[in-house]
Chains A and B, each alone.
Chain A
Amino acid sequence: GDSVTQMEGPVTLSEEAFLTINCTYTATGYPSLFWYVQYPGEGLQLLLKATKADDKGSNKGFEATYRKETTSFHLEKGSVQVSDSAVYFCALSYTGNQFYFGTGTSLTVIP
Chain B
Amino acid sequence: KAGVTQTPRYLIKTRGQQVTLSCSPISGHRSVSWYQQTPGQGLQFLFEYFSETQRNKGNFPGRFSGRQFSNSRSEMNVSTLELGDSALYLCASGFDGDRARDTQYFGPGTRLTVL
Contact with A along B64-91 (1 / 0, CB 8 A): 0000000000000000000000000010
The total of chain A residues at the interface (CB under 8 A) is 24
User: Which residues in A have their C-beta under 8 angstroms from that of B48?
Assistant: 98
User: Which residues in A have their C-beta under 8 angstroms from that of B43?
Assistant: 89, 91, 99, 101, 104
Q: Which of A46, A96, A100 contacts B103 (CB 8 A)?
A: A46
**Closest chain A residue to B98 by CB distance?**
A95
Contact with A along B90-115 (1 / 0, CB 8 A): 10100001111101111111000000
Looking at A36, A95, A96, A101, which has the most chain B CB atoms within 10 Å of its CB?
Answer: A96
- Which stretch, A16-24, A37-45, A65-73, touches the partner chain B? A37-45
**Closest chain B residue to A41 by CB distance?**
B108
User: Which residues in A have their C-beta under 8 angstroms from that of B45?
Assistant: 98-100
User: Which residues in B have their C-beta under 8 angstroms from that of A42?
Assistant: 108
Given A43-B109, A99-B33, 7 extra CB contacts under 8 A:
A32-B99, A42-B108, A43-B92, A43-B107, A93-B99, A96-B56, A99-B45
13 contacts between A and B (CB under 8 A): A34-B99, A36-B106, A45-B106, A46-B105, A51-B101, A96-B97, A98-B56, A98-B58, A99-B43, A99-B45, A101-B42, A101-B43, A104-B43
